[in-house]
Amino acid sequence: MSPTFASPPTWPWGVYVTPEPAETGITISEADFQKFREFFYRKTGIQFDSSKRYFVDKRLAERIEATGSGSFRGYFMLLRFQVNGEELQALTNLMTVNETYFFREEYQFQCLVDSLLPEIVARKIDRRPIRIWVMPSSSGEEPYSIAIYLLERWAGIHRWDVEIIASDIDTRILAQARQGLYSHRSVQYLPADYLQRYFKRRAEGYQICDDLRQSVEFTRVNLSERADTRSYRDFDVIFCRNLLIYFDDVSRKTATETFYDALKPGGFICLGHSESMSRSSSLYKVRKFPSAIVYQRPLEVS
């Protein structure tokens, strides 16, 4: 996959405290920036255009200082040649933007329970669990929202097992998702009774209850890495919202091909409201349901 944060919709100012380049005394030249962005794209698929220079420079300066590399050159050598890839992961965590909230783009969850799941169970010929993959997991709001929606709004949950797997490239955000601790802002669109039922009040905000925390499996996946995605198969529904818009054309195409093989024939993929599959792949069928447009891997192709 290729997460490309050419222009993240929201900036995590206030989430990450990063020093200004001037404060650290570290400068990143235009040539450094070009070199870095080519390397980072190759490794992660994430692409930064020139308008994100400030964002990238700030984070590079922070890591150069934190690792004691002294200069861009020293840090770049560390990134390129470190055997365990730890620093590349740390930097990836810093470069990816995570902001979401519970019940964001709720109409798609409605589509899931009103249209997608009824169709899926109608053609199901086994009793195996229904599998849902959420990518990116971010801090967990989306997979937990799906879990809550299924419990509250889908009668079929009493007859079927559902497995929810949520993945992200960012290990730090995955740890946060597993912990399930949220601010008031993050839960503000949840009905009050849901908040009461599924959350515990904490000094820092709200924590999702243990039962729900155990109902979502969080895994680290880089969509650009075939080795990471190979075992993700047999999903009935994939949610991949507001991620592909940051990818370049080739990465987007690769990601949609990966999803194609991760879905069962007839499986559905839900993209963000501003996203469309048409530019990257002709493999999917467009399905218009009352509450949302989703894409389907055709049934007839095995």
Partner 1 sequence: MGLIKTQPTVESVTEEVRKHPRDCAGLLAQLIDPNPTVRRWAARDLADCPDISAALVERLHQEADISVREVILTTLTGLGDATSVAGLVECLRSEDAARRNEAIEAMRQLPDAVAPIIRGLLADPDPDVRIFAVNILESLCHPEVERWLIEVIDRDPHVNVCGAAVDLLGEVGSGAARESLLRLKARFANEPYIRFAADLALGRLRDA
Kindly write out the interface string for residues 139-158 of this chain, putting x where it contacts partner 1 by CB under 8 A and - elsewhere: --------x--xx-----xx
Mode of pairing for the β-strands spanning 130-134 and 235-240: parallel
Does 84 help bind partner 1 (rule: CB under 8 A)?
A: no
Q: Return d(Cα 257, Cα 187) in angstroms, integer.
A: 34
Q: Which two tokens stand for residue 154?
A: 């889908």
* 159 is known as an active-site residue: no
Q: Please compute Rg for the chain using Cα positions.
A: 20
User: CB under 8 A: which stretch of 21-29, 81-89, 105-113, 162-170 binds partner 1?
Assistant: 162-170
Least distance (Å) from partner 1 to the CB of residue 259? Answer: 12
Does 113 help bind partner 1 (rule: CB under 8 A)?
A: no
Q: Which of residues 262-301 bind partner 1 (CB under 8 A)?
A: 281-283, 301
Q: Return d(Cα 128, Cα 137) in angstroms, integer.
A: 24
Q: Which two tokens stand for residue 104?
A: 């964001």
Does 117 help bind partner 1 (rule: CB under 8 A)?
A: no
Least distance (Å) from partner 1 to the CB of residue 164? Answer: 7
Kindly write out the interface string for residues 226-265 of this chain, putting x where it contacts partner 1 by CB under 8 A and - elsewhere: x---xxx----------------xx--xx--x--xx----
- Catalytic residue, chosen from 32, 37, 63, 168, is 168
* 161 is known as an active-site residue: no
Category of 280 on φ-ψ map: left (φ > 0), alpha (ψ -120 to 50) or beta: alpha
Among 216, 240, 269, 277, binds partner 1 (CB under 8 A): 216
Cβ within 8 Å of residue 293, ≥6 positions away = 286, 287
Q: Per-residue b/e over 207-231, b at no fewer than 16 CB within 10 Å?
A: bbeeebbebbebeebbbbeeebbee
Catalytic residues: 59, 168
Q: Which residues bind partner 1 (CB under 8 A)?
A: 129, 147, 150-151, 157-165, 178, 211-212, 214-217, 219, 226, 230-232, 249-250, 253-254, 257, 260-261, 281-283, 301-302
